[in-house]
Structure 1
Amino acid sequence: MRVLVGCETSGVVRRAFDALGHDAWSCDLLPADDGSNRHIVGDVRDLLGDDWDLLAVMHPPCTRLCNSGVRWLNDPVQKNPPDEASPAEKLAWAGLSIDERRVIMHRLLDEGAALFSDCWNAPIARVAVENPVMHRYAKERIRNYQQPAQTVQPWWFGDPAFKATSFYLRGLPKLAAATRLTPPASGTEEHKQWSKVHRATPGPDRWKLRSVTYPGIAAAMAEQWGGHAMQEAAE
Protein backbone atom coordinates (compact mmCIF):
# COMPACT_ATOMS: atom_id res chain seq x y z
CA MET A 1 0.00 0.00 0.00
CA ARG A 2 1.09 3.59 -0.64
CA VAL A 3 1.12 5.26 2.78
CA LEU A 4 1.64 8.94 3.57
CA VAL A 5 2.52 9.85 7.15
CA GLY A 6 1.92 13.57 7.56
CA CYS A 7 3.31 15.93 10.20
CA GLU A 8 6.01 13.51 11.36
CA THR A 9 9.73 14.19 11.74
CA SER A 10 10.65 11.20 13.94
CA GLY A 11 10.01 8.58 11.26
CA VAL A 12 8.58 6.17 13.85
CA VAL A 13 5.31 5.55 12.00
CA ARG A 14 6.93 5.64 8.55
CA ARG A 15 9.44 2.98 9.58
CA ALA A 16 6.72 0.79 11.09
CA PHE A 17 4.82 0.72 7.79
CA ASP A 18 8.04 0.33 5.81
CA ALA A 19 9.03 -2.68 7.93
CA LEU A 20 5.90 -4.47 6.73
CA GLY A 21 6.68 -3.81 3.08
CA HIS A 22 4.47 -0.77 2.46
CA ASP A 23 5.57 2.11 0.24
CA ALA A 24 5.63 4.56 3.14
CA TRP A 25 6.64 8.23 3.08
CA SER A 26 6.65 10.88 5.77
CA CYS A 27 6.19 14.62 5.28
CA ASP A 28 6.71 17.68 7.46
CA LEU A 29 7.83 21.28 7.22
CA LEU A 30 11.00 20.16 9.04
CA PRO A 31 13.56 17.54 7.91
CA ALA A 32 13.39 13.98 9.17
CA ASP A 33 15.27 13.27 12.39
CA ASP A 34 16.68 10.06 10.87
CA GLY A 35 17.80 11.70 7.62
CA SER A 36 15.70 9.31 5.55
CA ASN A 37 15.32 9.85 1.80
CA ARG A 38 11.71 8.72 2.23
CA HIS A 39 10.82 12.00 3.91
CA ILE A 40 9.44 14.99 2.02
CA VAL A 41 10.03 18.47 3.41
CA GLY A 42 6.94 20.55 2.69
CA ASP A 43 3.25 21.05 3.35
CA VAL A 44 1.42 17.72 3.52
CA ARG A 45 -1.54 19.30 1.75
CA ASP A 46 0.51 19.56 -1.44
CA LEU A 47 0.71 15.76 -1.54
CA LEU A 48 -2.86 14.74 -0.71
CA GLY A 49 -3.88 14.23 -4.34
CA ASP A 50 -1.01 11.87 -5.21
CA ASP A 51 -2.99 8.61 -5.16
CA TRP A 52 -2.30 7.33 -1.64
CA ASP A 53 -4.01 4.27 -0.16
CA LEU A 54 -3.73 5.46 3.43
CA LEU A 55 -3.06 8.79 5.14
CA ALA A 56 -1.91 8.97 8.77
CA VAL A 57 -1.48 12.53 10.07
CA MET A 58 0.33 12.11 13.34
CA HIS A 59 1.11 15.46 14.92
CA PRO A 60 -0.76 18.31 13.24
CA PRO A 61 -0.47 21.62 15.15
CA CYS A 62 -3.21 21.22 17.72
CA THR A 63 -2.56 23.75 20.48
CA ARG A 64 -5.24 26.13 19.22
CA LEU A 65 -7.75 23.32 18.61
CA CYS A 66 -7.67 21.37 21.86
CA ASN A 67 -9.77 21.98 24.94
CA SER A 68 -6.74 22.79 27.08
CA GLY A 69 -5.95 25.83 24.96
CA VAL A 70 -9.40 27.31 24.46
CA ARG A 71 -9.04 29.81 27.33
CA TRP A 72 -6.28 31.66 25.48
CA LEU A 73 -8.48 32.54 22.50
CA ASN A 74 -10.27 35.41 24.21
CA ASP A 75 -7.92 35.97 27.13
CA PRO A 76 -4.40 35.83 25.62
CA VAL A 77 -2.60 37.23 28.64
CA GLN A 78 0.29 34.77 28.65
CA LYS A 79 3.73 36.34 28.89
CA ASN A 80 5.24 34.51 25.93
CA PRO A 81 3.82 34.58 22.39
CA PRO A 82 2.43 31.36 20.88
CA ASP A 83 4.98 29.17 19.12
CA GLU A 84 3.04 29.33 15.85
CA ALA A 85 3.11 33.13 15.68
CA SER A 86 5.23 34.78 13.01
CA PRO A 87 8.67 36.18 13.95
CA ALA A 88 7.30 39.73 13.66
CA GLU A 89 4.35 38.89 15.93
CA LYS A 90 6.66 37.35 18.50
CA LEU A 91 8.81 40.47 18.58
CA ALA A 92 5.78 42.72 18.97
CA TRP A 93 3.85 40.49 21.40
CA ALA A 94 4.77 42.25 24.65
CA GLY A 95 3.50 45.58 23.35
CA LEU A 96 0.28 44.35 21.77
CA SER A 97 -3.14 45.05 23.23
CA ILE A 98 -5.47 42.25 24.26
CA ASP A 99 -7.57 42.82 21.14
CA GLU A 100 -4.50 42.62 18.89
CA ARG A 101 -3.45 39.39 20.58
CA ARG A 102 -6.95 37.98 20.10
CA VAL A 103 -6.72 38.62 16.37
CA ILE A 104 -3.52 36.57 16.24
CA MET A 105 -4.93 33.75 18.36
CA HIS A 106 -8.05 33.45 16.20
CA ARG A 107 -5.96 33.48 13.03
CA LEU A 108 -3.88 30.62 14.42
CA LEU A 109 -7.09 28.78 15.27
CA ASP A 110 -8.28 29.21 11.68
CA GLU A 111 -4.96 27.96 10.32
CA GLY A 112 -4.90 24.89 12.57
CA ALA A 113 -8.50 24.02 11.78
CA ALA A 114 -7.85 24.46 8.04
CA LEU A 115 -4.95 21.99 8.14
CA PHE A 116 -6.97 19.43 10.07
CA SER A 117 -9.96 19.93 7.78
CA ASP A 118 -7.94 19.52 4.58
CA CYS A 119 -6.36 16.30 5.85
CA TRP A 120 -9.63 14.93 7.21
CA ASN A 121 -11.37 15.55 3.87
CA ALA A 122 -8.45 14.43 1.70
CA PRO A 123 -9.27 12.42 -1.45
CA ILE A 124 -7.90 9.29 0.20
CA ALA A 125 -10.03 6.27 1.14
CA ARG A 126 -8.46 5.67 4.54
CA VAL A 127 -7.54 8.50 6.88
CA ALA A 128 -6.33 8.65 10.48
CA VAL A 129 -5.63 11.97 12.19
CA GLU A 130 -4.19 12.18 15.69
CA ASN A 131 -5.46 15.11 17.73
CA PRO A 132 -6.64 15.85 21.27
CA VAL A 133 -10.35 16.37 21.94
CA MET A 134 -11.30 19.71 20.42
CA HIS A 135 -13.22 22.70 21.71
CA ARG A 136 -16.40 23.81 19.94
CA TYR A 137 -14.80 26.70 18.06
CA ALA A 138 -12.44 24.27 16.34
CA LYS A 139 -15.23 21.82 15.54
CA GLU A 140 -17.25 24.58 13.91
CA ARG A 141 -14.39 25.28 11.49
CA ILE A 142 -13.83 21.71 10.29
CA ARG A 143 -15.70 20.37 7.27
CA ASN A 144 -17.58 17.13 7.92
CA TYR A 145 -16.40 17.06 11.53
CA GLN A 146 -16.85 13.81 13.45
CA GLN A 147 -15.99 12.89 17.00
CA PRO A 148 -12.71 10.99 17.54
CA ALA A 149 -13.22 7.28 17.04
CA GLN A 150 -11.10 6.28 20.04
CA THR A 151 -8.54 7.37 22.61
CA VAL A 152 -5.68 5.00 23.38
CA GLN A 153 -2.69 4.86 25.72
CA PRO A 154 0.87 3.71 24.87
CA TRP A 155 0.78 1.13 27.66
CA TRP A 156 -2.02 -0.68 25.80
CA PHE A 157 0.60 -1.54 23.20
CA GLY A 158 3.57 -2.46 25.36
CA ASP A 159 5.11 1.00 25.78
CA PRO A 160 5.59 2.06 29.45
CA ALA A 161 4.12 5.54 29.21
CA PHE A 162 1.03 7.66 29.81
CA LYS A 163 -0.09 9.77 26.84
CA ALA A 164 -3.76 9.79 25.91
CA THR A 165 -3.91 9.77 22.12
CA SER A 166 -7.15 10.35 20.22
CA PHE A 167 -7.65 9.20 16.63
CA TYR A 168 -10.13 10.57 14.16
CA LEU A 169 -10.71 7.71 11.71
CA ARG A 170 -12.30 7.49 8.28
CA GLY A 171 -12.30 4.17 6.44
CA LEU A 172 -10.16 2.55 9.13
CA PRO A 173 -10.98 0.37 12.16
CA LYS A 174 -10.23 1.27 15.75
CA LEU A 175 -6.88 0.02 16.95
CA ALA A 176 -7.15 -3.11 19.07
CA ALA A 177 -4.92 -3.15 22.16
CA ALA A 178 -1.95 -5.48 21.80
CA THR A 179 0.31 -6.07 24.81
CA ARG A 180 -1.28 -4.30 27.77
CA LEU A 181 1.06 -3.43 30.59
CA THR A 182 0.03 -2.89 34.20
CA PRO A 183 0.32 0.81 35.07
CA PRO A 184 2.44 1.58 38.17
CA ALA A 185 0.85 3.00 41.29
CA SER A 186 0.46 6.77 41.49
CA GLY A 187 3.23 8.52 43.41
CA THR A 188 5.90 5.93 42.68
CA GLU A 189 9.12 6.68 40.84
CA GLU A 190 8.00 4.37 38.04
CA HIS A 191 4.75 6.32 37.68
CA LYS A 192 6.81 9.51 37.31
CA GLN A 193 8.85 7.87 34.56
CA TRP A 194 5.69 6.81 32.74
CA SER A 195 4.46 10.43 33.01
CA LYS A 196 7.59 12.07 31.57
CA VAL A 197 5.66 13.50 28.61
CA HIS A 198 3.43 15.47 30.97
CA ARG A 199 6.28 16.37 33.31
CA ALA A 200 8.54 17.78 30.60
CA THR A 201 10.02 21.13 31.55
CA PRO A 202 9.47 24.09 29.22
CA GLY A 203 12.10 24.46 26.53
CA PRO A 204 12.70 24.49 22.77
CA ASP A 205 12.45 20.69 22.46
CA ARG A 206 9.43 20.20 24.71
CA TRP A 207 7.09 19.99 21.71
CA LYS A 208 9.05 17.02 20.34
CA LEU A 209 8.76 15.07 23.56
CA ARG A 210 5.06 15.84 23.89
CA SER A 211 4.32 14.79 20.30
CA VAL A 212 6.26 11.54 20.37
CA THR A 213 4.64 8.43 18.86
CA TYR A 214 5.60 5.29 20.74
CA PRO A 215 6.84 2.27 18.74
CA GLY A 216 4.15 -0.09 20.05
CA ILE A 217 1.33 2.13 18.77
CA ALA A 218 3.19 2.66 15.47
CA ALA A 219 3.57 -1.10 15.02
CA ALA A 220 -0.16 -1.59 15.72
CA MET A 221 -1.02 1.07 13.12
CA ALA A 222 1.11 -0.60 10.47
CA GLU A 223 -0.16 -4.09 11.25
CA GLN A 224 -3.84 -3.30 11.76
CA TRP A 225 -4.47 -0.34 9.46
CA GLY A 226 -2.06 -1.56 6.80
CA GLY A 227 -3.57 -5.04 7.05
CA HIS A 228 -7.08 -3.61 6.73
CA ALA A 229 -6.08 -1.70 3.59
CA MET A 230 -4.48 -4.80 2.09
CA GLN A 231 -7.57 -6.88 2.79
CA GLU A 232 -9.84 -4.32 1.17
CA ALA A 233 -7.58 -4.11 -1.87
CA ALA A 234 -7.71 -7.89 -2.26
CA GLU A 235 -11.51 -8.09 -2.15
Structure 2
Amino acid sequence: MKILVACEERQAVTIELRRLGHEAYSCDIIPCSGGHPEWHIMQDVIPLINGRCKFKTMDGKEHEITSKWDLLICHPPCTYLSNAGARHLWKGHKLNEERYQKGLEAKAFFETLWKADCDRVVVENPVPSRIYELPPYTQTVQPHDYYGKEHPYTKKTCLWERGVKPLVPVEPVQPIATWCPSGSYSHKHQDKHRGMFTKDRAKNRAKTFPGIAKAMAEQWAGDIREGSQCEK
Protein backbone atom coordinates (compact mmCIF):
# COMPACT_ATOMS: atom_id res chain seq x y z
CA MET A 1 0.00 0.00 0.00
CA LYS A 2 1.04 3.60 -0.62
CA ILE A 3 0.41 5.47 2.62
CA LEU A 4 0.85 9.07 3.74
CA VAL A 5 1.18 9.88 7.45
CA ALA A 6 0.40 13.57 7.76
CA CYS A 7 1.83 15.86 10.45
CA GLU A 8 4.22 13.22 11.74
CA GLU A 9 7.85 14.13 12.40
CA ARG A 10 8.61 11.39 14.97
CA GLN A 11 7.74 8.77 12.34
CA ALA A 12 6.32 6.26 14.82
CA VAL A 13 3.53 5.12 12.49
CA THR A 14 5.62 5.41 9.33
CA ILE A 15 8.34 3.18 10.77
CA GLU A 16 5.80 0.49 11.67
CA LEU A 17 4.22 0.64 8.20
CA ARG A 18 7.63 0.36 6.54
CA ARG A 19 8.47 -2.58 8.78
CA LEU A 20 5.46 -4.40 7.34
CA GLY A 21 6.51 -3.72 3.75
CA HIS A 22 4.44 -0.68 2.77
CA GLU A 23 5.53 2.40 0.84
CA ALA A 24 4.80 4.86 3.61
CA TYR A 25 5.91 8.48 4.00
CA SER A 26 5.75 10.90 6.90
CA CYS A 27 5.12 14.57 6.19
CA ASP A 28 5.58 17.68 8.31
CA ILE A 29 6.79 21.25 7.92
CA ILE A 30 9.76 20.45 10.20
CA PRO A 31 12.56 17.87 9.81
CA CYS A 32 11.92 14.37 11.08
CA SER A 33 13.28 13.17 14.41
CA GLY A 34 12.49 9.50 13.69
CA GLY A 35 15.82 8.82 12.00
CA HIS A 36 14.59 8.18 8.45
CA PRO A 37 14.89 11.30 6.26
CA GLU A 38 14.55 9.04 3.21
CA TRP A 39 10.90 8.54 4.19
CA HIS A 40 10.14 12.11 5.27
CA ILE A 41 8.57 14.87 3.19
CA MET A 42 9.25 18.31 4.67
CA GLN A 43 6.52 20.57 3.30
CA ASP A 44 2.88 21.60 3.67
CA VAL A 45 0.90 18.35 3.49
CA ILE A 46 -2.30 19.74 1.91
CA PRO A 47 -1.05 19.60 -1.72
CA LEU A 48 -0.29 15.89 -1.21
CA ILE A 49 -3.35 14.49 0.54
CA ASN A 50 -5.35 13.64 -2.60
CA GLY A 51 -2.47 11.73 -4.17
CA ARG A 52 -1.57 12.15 -7.86
CA CYS A 53 1.44 14.19 -6.81
CA LYS A 54 5.19 14.51 -6.98
CA PHE A 55 7.42 15.28 -4.00
CA LYS A 56 10.93 15.02 -2.63
CA THR A 57 11.95 13.28 0.57
CA MET A 58 14.60 14.83 2.80
CA ASP A 59 17.36 12.76 1.16
CA GLY A 60 16.68 14.65 -2.08
CA LYS A 61 15.06 11.74 -3.91
CA GLU A 62 12.04 12.46 -6.08
CA HIS A 63 8.87 10.36 -5.85
CA GLU A 64 5.54 10.25 -7.67
CA ILE A 65 2.12 8.94 -6.62
CA THR A 66 0.05 8.36 -9.76
CA SER A 67 -3.28 7.62 -8.06
CA LYS A 68 -4.99 8.23 -4.73
CA TRP A 69 -3.22 7.16 -1.55
CA ASP A 70 -4.34 3.76 -0.29
CA LEU A 71 -4.44 5.06 3.28
CA LEU A 72 -4.10 8.48 4.90
CA ILE A 73 -3.29 8.72 8.62
CA CYS A 74 -3.28 12.24 10.06
CA HIS A 75 -2.05 13.78 13.30
CA PRO A 76 -3.02 17.46 12.93
CA PRO A 77 -1.95 19.98 15.60
CA CYS A 78 -4.31 19.95 18.56
CA THR A 79 -3.18 22.98 20.58
CA TYR A 80 -6.24 25.10 19.81
CA LEU A 81 -8.80 22.33 19.33
CA SER A 82 -8.19 20.21 22.39
CA ASN A 83 -10.60 20.30 25.32
CA ALA A 84 -7.53 20.36 27.58
CA GLY A 85 -6.81 23.90 26.41
CA ALA A 86 -10.41 25.11 26.46
CA ARG A 87 -9.84 27.13 29.63
CA HIS A 88 -7.58 29.47 27.61
CA LEU A 89 -10.54 30.37 25.38
CA TRP A 90 -12.00 32.59 28.04
CA LYS A 91 -10.74 35.67 29.86
CA GLY A 92 -13.16 35.78 32.72
CA HIS A 93 -16.52 35.60 30.94
CA LYS A 94 -15.20 37.02 27.67
CA LEU A 95 -14.21 34.87 24.70
CA ASN A 96 -10.55 35.11 23.73
CA GLU A 97 -11.17 36.05 20.10
CA GLU A 98 -7.55 35.60 18.99
CA ARG A 99 -7.37 32.05 20.32
CA TYR A 100 -10.83 31.26 19.00
CA GLN A 101 -9.82 32.31 15.48
CA LYS A 102 -6.73 30.11 15.68
CA GLY A 103 -9.01 27.28 16.70
CA LEU A 104 -11.20 27.89 13.64
CA GLU A 105 -8.10 27.76 11.45
CA ALA A 106 -7.10 24.47 13.07
CA LYS A 107 -10.62 23.14 12.49
CA ALA A 108 -10.44 24.04 8.80
CA PHE A 109 -7.14 22.18 8.51
CA PHE A 110 -8.60 19.18 10.33
CA GLU A 111 -11.64 19.08 8.03
CA THR A 112 -9.50 19.37 4.90
CA LEU A 113 -7.58 16.27 5.97
CA TRP A 114 -10.78 14.44 6.91
CA LYS A 115 -12.39 15.15 3.53
CA ALA A 116 -9.35 14.16 1.46
CA ASP A 117 -9.92 12.18 -1.74
CA CYS A 118 -8.88 8.87 -0.23
CA ASP A 119 -10.95 5.78 0.49
CA ARG A 120 -9.31 5.15 3.87
CA VAL A 121 -8.75 8.14 6.15
CA VAL A 122 -7.94 8.31 9.85
CA VAL A 123 -7.49 11.51 11.87
CA GLU A 124 -6.11 11.38 15.41
CA ASN A 125 -6.59 14.09 18.05
CA PRO A 126 -7.36 14.51 21.75
CA VAL A 127 -10.93 15.05 22.92
CA PRO A 128 -11.92 18.29 21.15
CA SER A 129 -13.52 21.36 22.64
CA ARG A 130 -17.25 21.35 21.88
CA ILE A 131 -17.17 24.97 20.80
CA TYR A 132 -15.55 23.98 17.48
CA GLU A 133 -18.20 21.35 16.65
CA LEU A 134 -15.90 18.82 15.02
CA PRO A 135 -17.57 15.77 13.48
CA PRO A 136 -18.16 12.90 15.95
CA TYR A 137 -15.14 10.67 16.49
CA THR A 138 -15.60 6.95 15.92
CA GLN A 139 -13.59 5.59 18.85
CA THR A 140 -11.14 6.41 21.63
CA VAL A 141 -7.94 4.52 22.39
CA GLN A 142 -5.61 4.25 25.38
CA PRO A 143 -1.87 3.38 25.35
CA HIS A 144 -2.29 0.59 27.91
CA ASP A 145 -4.68 -1.25 25.56
CA TYR A 146 -2.19 -1.71 22.71
CA TYR A 147 0.88 -3.74 23.60
CA GLY A 148 0.55 -1.93 26.89
CA LYS A 149 3.39 -3.63 28.75
CA GLU A 150 5.76 -1.05 27.25
CA HIS A 151 3.59 1.91 28.27
CA PRO A 152 0.96 1.10 30.93
CA TYR A 153 -0.55 4.59 30.96
CA THR A 154 -3.83 6.35 30.29
CA LYS A 155 -3.93 9.06 27.62
CA LYS A 156 -7.33 9.23 25.95
CA THR A 157 -7.04 9.81 22.23
CA CYS A 158 -9.85 10.10 19.69
CA LEU A 159 -9.86 8.58 16.22
CA TRP A 160 -12.01 9.68 13.30
CA GLU A 161 -12.06 6.70 10.94
CA ARG A 162 -13.39 6.38 7.40
CA GLY A 163 -12.99 3.22 5.34
CA VAL A 164 -11.16 1.28 8.08
CA LYS A 165 -12.37 -0.79 11.00
CA PRO A 166 -11.93 0.49 14.57
CA LEU A 167 -8.75 -0.61 16.28
CA VAL A 168 -9.05 -3.71 18.47
CA PRO A 169 -6.99 -3.86 21.72
CA VAL A 170 -3.89 -6.06 21.61
CA GLU A 171 -2.19 -7.34 24.77
CA PRO A 172 -3.83 -4.77 27.09
CA VAL A 173 -2.64 -4.22 30.66
CA GLN A 174 -3.94 -2.38 33.69
CA PRO A 175 -2.71 1.25 33.70
CA ILE A 176 -0.40 2.42 36.46
CA ALA A 177 -0.51 6.18 35.84
CA THR A 178 -1.84 8.97 33.66
CA TRP A 179 0.62 9.93 30.94
CA CYS A 180 0.17 13.66 30.65
CA PRO A 181 -2.89 15.34 32.19
CA SER A 182 -3.67 19.02 32.31
CA GLY A 183 -1.91 21.12 34.93
CA SER A 184 -4.95 21.52 37.17
CA TYR A 185 -5.68 17.79 36.97
CA SER A 186 -2.13 16.97 38.07
CA HIS A 187 -2.48 18.77 41.38
CA LYS A 188 -5.89 17.46 42.40
CA HIS A 189 -5.38 13.71 42.26
CA GLN A 190 -3.41 10.99 43.99
CA ASP A 191 0.10 10.07 42.85
CA LYS A 192 -0.89 7.50 40.26
CA HIS A 193 -3.18 10.04 38.57
CA ARG A 194 -0.82 13.03 38.55
CA GLY A 195 0.82 12.05 35.30
CA MET A 196 4.28 11.27 34.05
CA PHE A 197 4.88 14.87 32.96
CA THR A 198 4.03 18.19 34.54
CA LYS A 199 6.44 20.09 32.23
CA ASP A 200 6.57 20.09 28.41
CA ARG A 201 3.01 18.77 28.46
CA ALA A 202 2.20 19.92 24.92
CA LYS A 203 5.20 18.05 23.52
CA ASN A 204 4.46 14.90 25.44
CA ARG A 205 0.73 14.96 24.68
CA ALA A 206 1.68 14.78 20.99
CA LYS A 207 3.53 11.50 21.44
CA THR A 208 2.22 8.53 19.45
CA PHE A 209 2.85 5.48 21.58
CA PRO A 210 4.71 2.64 19.83
CA GLY A 211 2.02 0.10 20.72
CA ILE A 212 -0.72 2.19 19.12
CA ALA A 213 1.47 2.86 16.07
CA LYS A 214 2.11 -0.88 15.74
CA ALA A 215 -1.59 -1.70 16.01
CA MET A 216 -2.45 0.93 13.38
CA ALA A 217 0.02 -0.59 10.93
CA GLU A 218 -1.01 -4.17 11.61
CA GLN A 219 -4.76 -3.68 11.61
CA TRP A 220 -5.20 -1.03 8.91
CA ALA A 221 -2.49 -2.08 6.47
CA GLY A 222 -1.30 -5.60 7.33
CA ASP A 223 1.99 -7.39 6.88
CA ILE A 224 2.80 -7.70 3.17
CA ARG A 225 6.42 -8.82 3.50
CA GLU A 226 7.40 -11.87 1.52
CA GLY A 227 6.50 -15.03 3.39
CA SER A 228 4.16 -13.27 5.81
CA GLN A 229 1.07 -15.16 6.93
CA CYS A 230 -0.80 -11.92 7.68
CA GLU A 231 -0.98 -10.33 4.25
CA LYS A 232 -4.12 -8.30 3.61
Distance 2:203 2:23 in 1: 25
Aligned equivalent of 2:88:
72
Distance 2:162 2:92 in 1: 34
Match of 1:151, SS state, is strand
Task: Trace 1:11-22 onto structure 2 (pairs within 5 A).
Answer: 11-22=11-22
**Residue number among 120, 123, 134 corresponding to 1:129 in the alignment:** 123
Aligned equivalent of 1:56:
73
**Residue number among 186, 198, 201 corresponding to 1:200 in the alignment:** 198
Return closer, same or farther for 1:21/1:71 CA change in 2, 3 Å cut-off. Answer: same
Aligned equivalent of 1:87:
none
Aligned length: 195
Aligned equivalent of 2:209:
214
Match of 1:62, SS state, is coil
Distance 1:64 1:9 in 2: 19
Q: Deviations over 1:25-78 (max 9, x none)?
A: 0001111003421101111112112121111112x111221223233224289x
Q: Is the CA contact 1:65–1:134 (under 8 Å) kept in the aligned structure 2?
A: yes
Alignment RMSD: 2.7
Identity fraction in percent: 39
Report how far residue 192 of structure 1 moved.
6.7
Return closer, same or farther for 1:224/1:182 CA change in 2, 3 Å cut-off. Answer: same
Greater fraction of residues in helix: 1
Q: Is the CA contact 1:127–1:169 (under 8 Å) kept in the aligned structure 2?
A: yes
Q: Is the CA contact 1:200–1:209 (under 8 Å) kept in the aligned structure 2?
A: no
Q: Is the CA contact 1:76–1:105 (under 8 Å) kept in the aligned structure 2?
A: no
TM-score (norm 2): 0.75
Q: Deviations over 1:67-119 (max 9, x none)?
A: 23233224289xxxxxxxxxxxxxxxxxxxx88xx342122112100110000
Aligned equivalent of 1:153:
142
Q: Is the CA contact 2:20–2:222 (under 8 Å) kept in the aligned structure 1?
A: no
Return closer, same or farther for 1:18/1:76 CA change in 2, 3 Å cut-off. Answer: farther
Deviates more, 1:156-165 or 1:113-122: 156-165
Q: Is the CA contact 1:55–1:124 (under 8 Å) kept in the aligned structure 2?
A: yes
Whichever residue aligns with residue 124 of structure 1, its letter is: C
Whichever residue aligns with residue 10 of structure 2, its letter is: S
Distance 1:42 1:121 in 2: 20
Report how far residue 7 of structure 1 moved.
0.9
Task: Trace 1:64-143 onto structure 2 (pairs within 5 A).
Answer: 64-75=80-91, 102-139=96-133
Return closer, same or farther for 1:187/1:135 CA change in 2, 3 Å cut-off. Answer: closer
Instruction: Note the residue ranges of structure 1 that are not aligned, 5 or more in a row.
Output: 78-97, 229-233
Greater fraction of residues in strand: 2
TM-score (norm 1): 0.74
Match of 1:15, SS state, is helix
Distance 1:7 1:200 in 2: 24
Task: Trace 1:156-235 onto structure 2 (pairs within 5 A).
Answer: 156-157=145-146, 158=148, 159-184=151-176, 187=190, 191=192, 195-196=195-196, 199-202=197-200, 206-227=201-222
